[in-house]
Amino acid sequence: MSRPETIDVTAVIERARFGRFQFAITALCALIALLDGFDTQAIAYVAPVIAEDWQMSMASFGPIFGAGLAGLTVGAFVLSPAADRFGRKSVILVSMAIFGVFSLITAWAGTMNELLLYRFLTGLGLGGAMPNIIALTSEYAPARLRATLVTVMFCGFPLGSTIGGVLSAPMIAAFGWHSVFILGGIAPLVVLVLLIVMLPESVRYLVARGAPAEKIDRIMRRLDPAIAAGGPRSYVLNEPKAMGFPVRKLFEDGRARVTLLLWVAFFMNLLVMYFLVNWLPSLLRGAGLPLQIAILSTAILNFGGVVGAITLGRMIDRLNPHLVLGSAYAASAGFIALVALGASDLWILMPATFLAGYGVVGAQIGMNALTAGVYPTAIRSTGVGWALGVGRIGSIIGPVAGGLLIGAGWSTEWVVMAAVVPALLASAAVFALRRHGHAGAPAAAPTLAH
């Protein structure tokens, strides 16, 4: 009896040509991100209309924004470690079902308490999906394209927010605010069926968990047609196994300093990002701009993030990622200040909003790619999920703080200007990663810089 052929899965992925199989995975994950972005942003677009319908002040929407983001936080903390145990695909499917169903139910909310509860439950699903589409895309991408593919994939998130901004105003005018949540609920449930059939499990995860060789073999032959059918073979993963509690592993083997700096960067930037995407429409509406222009400004912010993610992703693959991302955060602070000072002049407001989104949203997507490269397969979903989870704490504080500042009588200019400080702190944390990132990364972690 012949000895089984041993195949290194990591080596196959690294040498494989980027073909239809990898493209399909990236595209499906991008579609999930798009729906995620639409649903996450939906509440900001309808908030001014709900406030008018229910005769409530905009300041009272701070807890509503915070509830959805709290759900995102819990989803990221709980469901990302679950994916390292039960699989990326399983958790993605469960997450899609959760945020589709509860987004649909949100359309029938009749009180602030109902709206708060439904947004929290929607957020659970949204928070569980995001780290796993990042991990899944990263685990099928060769190192030479990893940051580019993860950032291009996650462009679906700001693109979904942008589409929401384009569609929401006419939908609200024609069918009422309920229609935005109905679309945001039906779409992921339809896509869920497609994912069940077409989305593969992470082959790195399957090898790490000791799945049967036949199951791995089917995926590997789609990944690399040079692998012939039949014949005894075994698959190995050239990475250390992480036994025990996965969150603790984020602080072992020299990873503690890098993990903490990543958390600071995620916390500060997501605070800024969700502060802007949730409050900008309402702040500009309060400053006297028409509703369509106020909503369009946030769509432009997210579109800037799409452009930023694509260009920054290529730069990350070619240059030092910490220098690229730290500089982007620092520049975004200046453009946020310009948004604050130019809110009354559309010729200043719109370009400044685009460039602020380029730095804030685009660099955040780049941080997702960088983080996915820091951790090995056994704890990758946990590492990305907990970084996003800590960031979500900032994303809760940002909108709630915005409500407090508005309630305290701050002007639109100074409320927006307040976001400059955490943007600069995010930049400082990423520049600190430049000094410590390589020393703290595990030996098996792929590098993003060339």
Which pLDDT tens digit goes with each residue over 208-233? 777 777 787 788 777 777 665 656 66
Q: Which pLDDT score, from 0 to 100, does residue 439 have?
A: 33
Q: What is the pLDDT of residue 189?
A: 93
Pick the range with the lowest mean pLDDT from 89-98, 246-255, 380-389, 418-427. 246-255
Which of 45 and 282 is assigned the larger pLDDT?
A: 45
The pLDDT of residue 448 is above 50: no
pLDDT reported for residue 444: 35
- What's the confidence (pLDDT) of residue 193? 92
- Domain contains 268: yes
307 C-beta neighbours (distance < 10 Å), count: 17
Q: Specify if 332 maps to a domain.
A: yes
Q: What is the pLDDT of residue 194?
A: 92
pLDDT over 70 at 261, yes or no: yes
Q: What is the pLDDT of residue 97?
A: 92
Phi, psi of 442 (to 5 degrees): -70, 155
CA distances, 345 to each of 280, 293, 341, 351, 353 (Å): 15, 12, 9, 11, 12
| Cα(46)–Cα(48) distance, integer angstroms | 6
69 part of a folded domain: yes
Q: Would 446 be classed as within a structural domain? A: no
Placement of tokens 């089917």 in the chain: 218
- Average pLDDT across the chain, whole number: 78
Q: What is the pLDDT of residues 185-194, one digit of tens each?
A: 999 999 999 9
Closest CA to 301 of 322, 319, 284, 320: 284
**What count of residues does the chain have?**
450
Q: Could you tell me if residue 448 is inside a domain? A: no
Q: Decide if 146 is inside a domain.
A: yes
> Can you read off the two tokens belonging to residue 429?
């944390």
- Domain encompassing residue 219: 5-440
447 domain-assigned: no
Number of domains in the chain: 1
- For helices 256-286 and 420-440, what crossing angle results, to 10°? 160
- Domain for residue 13, yes or no? yes
Q: What is the pLDDT of residues 128-146, one digit of tens each?
A: 888 888 888 888 887 777 7
Q: Are 356 and 336 in contact (CB under 8 A)?
A: yes
Q: What is the pLDDT of residue 286?
A: 62
Q: How many Cβ atoms from other residues are within 10 Å of residue 236's Cβ?
A: 12
Strand partners, 431: none
Task: Specify the pLDDT at position 241.
Answer: 56
Greatest mean pLDDT range, 75-89, 224-238, 436-450 = 75-89
- Residue 404 belongs to a domain with what CATH number? 1.20.1250.20
pLDDT digits (tens, 9 = 90+) for 238-258: 655 554 446 677 766 677 788
User: Is pLDDT above 60 for 82?
Assistant: yes
Residue 186 confidence (pLDDT): 92
Dist. CA 385–CA 34, nearest whole Å: 18
Percentage of residues in the chain having pLDDT higher than 90: 7
Res 442: pLDDT: 35
Reported as a pLDDT band with limits 50, 70 and 90, residue 449 is very low
* Closest to 372 (Cα-Cα) out of 315, 313, 323, 303: 313
3-state secondary structure the chain: CCCCEEEEHHHHHHHCCCCHHHHHHHHHHHHHHHHHHHHHHHHHHHHHHHHHHCCCCHHHHHHHHHHHHHHHHHHHHHHHHHHHHHCHHHHHHHHHHHHHHHHHHHCCCCCHHHHHHHHHHHHHHHHHHHHHHHHHHHHHCCHHHHHHHHHHHHCHHHHHHHHHHHHHHHHHHHHCCHHHHHHHHHHHHHHHHHHHHHCCCCHHHHHHCCCCHHHHHHHHHHHCCCCCCCCCEEEECCCCCCCCCHHHHCCCCCCHHHHHHHHHHHHHHHHHHHHHHHHHHHHHHHCCCCHHHHHHHHHHHHHHHHHHHHHHHHHHHHCCHHHHHHHHHHHHHHHHHHHHHCCCCHHHHHHHHHHHHHHHHHHHHHHHHHHHHHCCHHHHHHHHHHHHHHHHHHHHHHHHHHHHHHHCCCCHHHHHHCCHHHHHHHHHHHHHHHHHHHHHCCCCCCCCCC
Which pLDDT score is estimated for 244?
Answer: 45
- Residue 336 to residues 146, 306, 331, Cα–Cα distance (Å): 29, 17, 9
User: What are the tokens at 142?
Assistant: 């060769």
For the ranges 14-23, 191-200, 353-362, 391-400, the maximum mean pLDDT occurs at: 191-200
pLDDT for 230 equals 59
Buried b (16+ CB within 10 A) or exposed e, 347-375: eebbbbbbbbbbbbbbbbbbbbbbbbbbb
pLDDT at 291: 66
